[in-house]
Each structure stands twice: as C-alpha cells, then as structure tokens.
Structure 1
C-alpha cells in the first residue's frame, strides 16, 4: 500500500525539562506505516531543541506568540504555507488552541486541516469549569474555585482544608500548605500565565494518566493508561509505565462518548486508597509522553493526521502492558551559524 504524502506543521519543539509534545509526536509520525511525512517545525524561542534536530524536523519557522493575536498568527502561517504547502497543522500547546480553533475555517480555506476539540469542548473542560464538568458527565472531580485576587481566597478559604493545589489556567500547579504559600504561588503563576488562578481540593492518592483520541462522533480511537514512576520538581513525568486498568479505560470511553471529544486528550487522574478515580484535569491535546502509546502499539499521532485528512481510522483494540519510558538528558551539539540564522531570519 502506497503511503499518503503529507506536510505536517507542528509546535512544541521545546524538548527540555518541561517538554512539549512536539518531538514525541514527530517520532510517532516518522514511524508511521501509512504516512510519508515532511515535518515543518513552528518555534517560539531560538533555543528550542527541536529546531536543530534535523533528522526529525525538515525545516523550522519562528512564529508569533498566541498572545499576539489571531492575525499575526494567520499571517505567519500563510507565509509558511506558501513555502511548504502545509497539509495538517498540529498545535501542541494549550495556549495556542483557542487561536487555532477560532481560525479553523480560514485554515481550511487555505488548504490546511486540523483535528481539534470544538470551542465548547475546550471551554467546558477548563480547570475553572471542572466542577460543572464533573456534574454534567457524572465524573468525580475535586472541589475547586477560581479566584482573581488574594482577597477572593480569603473569602472562600474556610471551604478548603490545607493543603490545597494552586493551578494556573494553562500550566503550573503547586501544593500549598498555608495561606502564605497560596499567596506565593498565586503571584508566581499569575505573573506567568494570567488570571484566573484555580484553588483545588488536594486529593491524596496515586497519580495516573490516560492519553486518548476521540473521533468527534463519540468513539474512542485509542487510549493508553500510564502510571508515573518518576516525577520532576515541576510535576512532569520523567518515567512511566503502561497499565492494564479497565476502570481508567471505562472512564475515558465515557468522557469521550458523552462529550463527543474530537482530537487528542490527556486525562490526569488520582486513584485514592479506596480505589476511587478523581479527574483532576483534562489536557485538550496529546501529552509529552505520547510516544509511550506509540511504542505500546497505538500510534495516536498517526491517527490524528489521518483523521484530519478525512481518512477512516480503525480504533486500536489493544496495547502492550508493562511498557516503560524513561527520559534522559542529551547534549546536542549545534553550529553557531545555525542558531544565528534562525535568530535573524526566523527560518532554518
């Protein structure tokens, strides 16, 4: 069977201590038996390692930050499209998704396909909306409240017991053991990611995760559960192992079926000592550990591109249990001229 040739543009090339999903998504696409992929990287910073991984990324372009607005983003994508003829665009950061979803019709007119959650799906799974999400879909979630300032926290503090989890609207989460720590983390996260800040009930238990893909019609294309075996001080998984867990898979199927989820997702869960599963977060895209799913037999990046192209994708029905991933640091040596070229021209 002849492979489908397609140019895929994607972000998330910051393969550092808090890695983006870009490089593992690329690895999955490069290993596809159905796709012949040319990879175009989209980078925000000059030192994102993926820019210089020429064995994985064919060419990289610098793009404006999502906070710059829709028009600068579209102008840059138009330019890249003129040079590269993008077939599929995969945004890998939460902060990009709103901009890309709002631009989906325009991108389609340009000939660029995406496969993302709808605006409703994106909004209702927000951390600040998680209590309502839990009620609507009958999923256990920790109690939480969004706040805009520290005075708001003092008004609701009695509703919580310490410790509490202080979360940013896109990224970052810290456990606070008293009012002073809440204040410190509030200011730190707000300065980086803006408001609101979410205060969430702390649930004791084991953190487990599921990476999954929905077809937008209520069907689960694939799902792989994982338990983190090593967590960094930033809360990122630096090691994990696939699990055989029917309860996690049932919960994932139920969420995808009821929401009719479209695209990739990660469910962050806590399993308590009583074996109850609490949903603490839904990330509306493939996570940085998605290559574990690929290695376990479910090439979800491949499925994402095929769905974006309108191809029929057969759901995965199994994965390898007990597959382990371990991240490591690697000194990649680059030529200063390459860095200078990207810094000055925005292309490499």
Structure 2
C-alpha cells in the first residue's frame, strides 16, 4: 500500500533541558508506514535545537509568539501556508493552544487540519480550575490556591502546610519550604508566565504519568502509563519506564469518557503509599516523552494525524511494559550561515 503524501507543520522544537514535544513527534511520524511526510518546523526562537537537527524538519520558519496577538500569528501561518501548503498543524505548547483552538475554523477554511480539545474542555482543566475539575469528575486532586499578589502569601499557613509547590500558569513548578520562598517564586514565575500563580498542596508519593489520545467522542484511542525514574530541577522527566497499572488506565479512560476529550493529553499523578492517585496536572497535548509510547507499541502521533484527516482509527489495546527512556545532552555542530538564515530571513 503506497504511503499518503502529507505536509505537517509543527511547533515545540526546543529540545533542551525543558524539552518540547515537537522533535519526538516528528521522529514518530517519520516512522509511519502510512504517511510520506514533509515536515515544516514552526519555531518561536532562532536557537531551538530542532531547527538544526539532521533529519528532523524539511523546512523551518520563525513565527511570532502568541503574546504578540492572534492576528500576527495567524497572518504568519497564512504566509507560510501560501509558500508550502500545510495539511495538518500540530501545536505543542500550552501557551499557544488557546489561539489555535479559537481559530480552528479559520484554519480549516484554508485546508489546514488540527486535532485539538474543545475550548470548554481546554479551560476547565487549567491549573487554576483543577480543584473544580476534581469535584466535577469525582477525582482526587491536591488543594490549590491561586495567588494574584505577593500580599496573599501570608494567608497560606491558614490553608496549607509546607512544603508546597509553586506553579506557573503554563509551565514551571518549584517546591517551596516557607513563605519567603513562595514570595520569591511568585515574582519569578509571574514575571515569566503572568497571573495567577498557583500554590499546590504537596502530596507525598511516586510521580507517575499517563500519555493518552481521545477521539472527541468519549473513546480512548491509546494510553500508556509511565513512572518517572529521573526528575530534573524543573520537574521534568529525564528518565522513565512504562508500567502496567490498571488503575491509572481506568482513571484515564474515565476522564476521557466523561469529558469527551479530543486530542492528546498527559495526566500527571502522584501515587501514594496506600495506592491512592492524585491528579496534579492535566496537560492538553502530548508530552515531550511521547516517543516512549511509540517504543511501547502505540504510535499516538500517527493516530492523531489520521484523526485530523478524518480517518477511522481503531484504538490500541496493548503496550509493552518495562520500556524505558533516558535523555542525554548532545552537541550539535553547524555553520553560522544556518543561524543567520533563520535569524535574518525567518526561514531555513
């Protein structure tokens, strides 16, 4: 069966110590036996490693940050689309998803397909809404308090015990042991990601995650649980191993069924000593460790692209437990002319 030729535009090329999902997504789609893929990288910064990695993108363009305004971002997407017609667009950053979800119809009118959560689903699982989400869907979640000003830090002792986690609206999570640390982190995180800054109860246990894909009708196309084996100071998994955990899978299927989740998802959980599971975050896209799921037998990026193209996709029913990943640093060597091209021309 001949492979279908498609062009995919994808963000998330920052394959650093705080990696995006773009590079592993591309690796997965390059391995597909269904698609012959041309990959257009969409980069927000001129030093995102995915721009320069051999065999990753076929063409890369700089695009403006969503904070520059939806109009500028969409105008740049349209300009790129005229040069290189895009079949499927895969955004991978939480901060850009609002713009692309809101303008999904605009993209579809131009022949650009996406497979993203609905706006209601996207908004109800945000960090500042997680407590309400837990109540609505009968899930255990840590107690969380939003901070909109440093003066509120003094109130923390009334509702939470230390240590706590201090989290940004989109990214970053740090453990704090006293009010002074919380105040310092509040200023650091709010300057980067805006308000509110969330302070979350610390739940002791093992950090476990599930990567999943929902079809938007309540069905789970695929799900793979993982236990973190190495965690960076940014809270990112630098190593992990797939685990056979029926309770984690059951929780995932239940959430996707109740929310009718559409698109990729990562559930971040804490498993306590008495085998209780607390949802600490719900990320509205496939995570940076997604290639582990591919290695375990579920090519969720390929399935997502097929769903975006309105193809019928059968759910995965199995995966290999005991598959592990370890990230590593690698020095990319290139010529200054490559950097000049992406910086001056905005494309490479």
Report the TM-score, using the length of structure 2 for normalisation.
0.99
Q: Is the 8 A contact 2:213 2:264 kept in 1?
A: yes
Residue 242 (structure 1) aligns with:
242
Q: Give 1:325's aligned residue.
A: 325
Answer whether contact 2:18 2:234 (CA < 8 A) is retained.
yes
Matches within 5 A, 1:30-179: 30-179=30-179
Q: How big is each residue's C-alpha offset from its partner over 1:13-48, in whole Å with a ceiling of 9 and x where there is no partner?
A: 010111010000000000011111110000011111
Which residue of structure 2 lines up, in the alignment, with residue 211 of structure 1?
211
**Structure 1 residue 153 displacement after superposition:** 2.8
Deviation digits for residues 222-274 of structure 1 (CA, Å, limit 9, x no counterpart): 00000011111111111100000000000000000000000000000000011
CA distance in 2, matches of 1:164, 1:338: 44
- Residue 342 (structure 2) pairs with residue 342 (structure 1): yes
After the TM superposition, which parts of structure 1 deviate over 6 Å for at least 4 consecutive aligned residues? none
SS in 1 for 2:203: coil
Instruction: Give the gaps of 5 or more residues in structure 1.
Output: none
How many residue pairs match? The answer is: 348
Q: How far apart, in 2, do the equivalents of 1:113 and 1:157 lie? A: 48
Corresponding residue for residue 186 of structure 2: 186
User: Partner residue of 2:307?
Assistant: 307
Give how far 1:157 is off: 3.1
Q: Residues 92-128 of structure 1: CA distance to partner in whole angstroms, max 9, x if unpaired?
A: 0000000101111110001000000011011000000
CA distance in 2, matches of 1:55, 1:268: 31
Please name the residue that 2:7 is paired with. Answer: 7
SS of the aligned residue for 2:45 comes to: coil
Q: Distance in 1 between matches of 2:73 and 2:135?
A: 36
CA separation in 1, counterparts of 2:290 and 2:22? 10
Q: Deviation per CA, 1:193-222, whole angstroms, max 9, x where unpaired?
A: 000011111000000000000000000000
Aligned with 1:13: secondary structure?
A: coil
List alignment gaps of at least 5 residues for structure 2: none
Quote how far apart the aligned CAs of 1:152 are.
2.3
Cα deviation code 1:121-155 (max 9, x no counterpart) = 11000000001100110110001111101222323
**1:231 aligned residue:** 231
Q: What's the Cα RMSD here?
A: 0.8
CA distance in 2, matches of 1:173, 1:327: 20
2:277 is matched with which residue?
Answer: 277
Q: Work out whether 1:28 is the aligned partner of 2:28.
A: yes
Question: Normalization by structure 1: what TM-score?
Answer: 0.99
Structure 1 residue 156 displacement after superposition: 4.4
Give SS of 1:329's match: coil
SS in 1 for 2:344: helix
Q: Counterpart in 2 of 1:202?
A: 202
How far, CA to CA, are the matches of 2:35 and 2:136 in structure 1? 38
The 1-side partners of 2:333 and 2:86 are apart by 29
Partner of 2:220: 220
Distance 1:53 1:86 in 2: 21
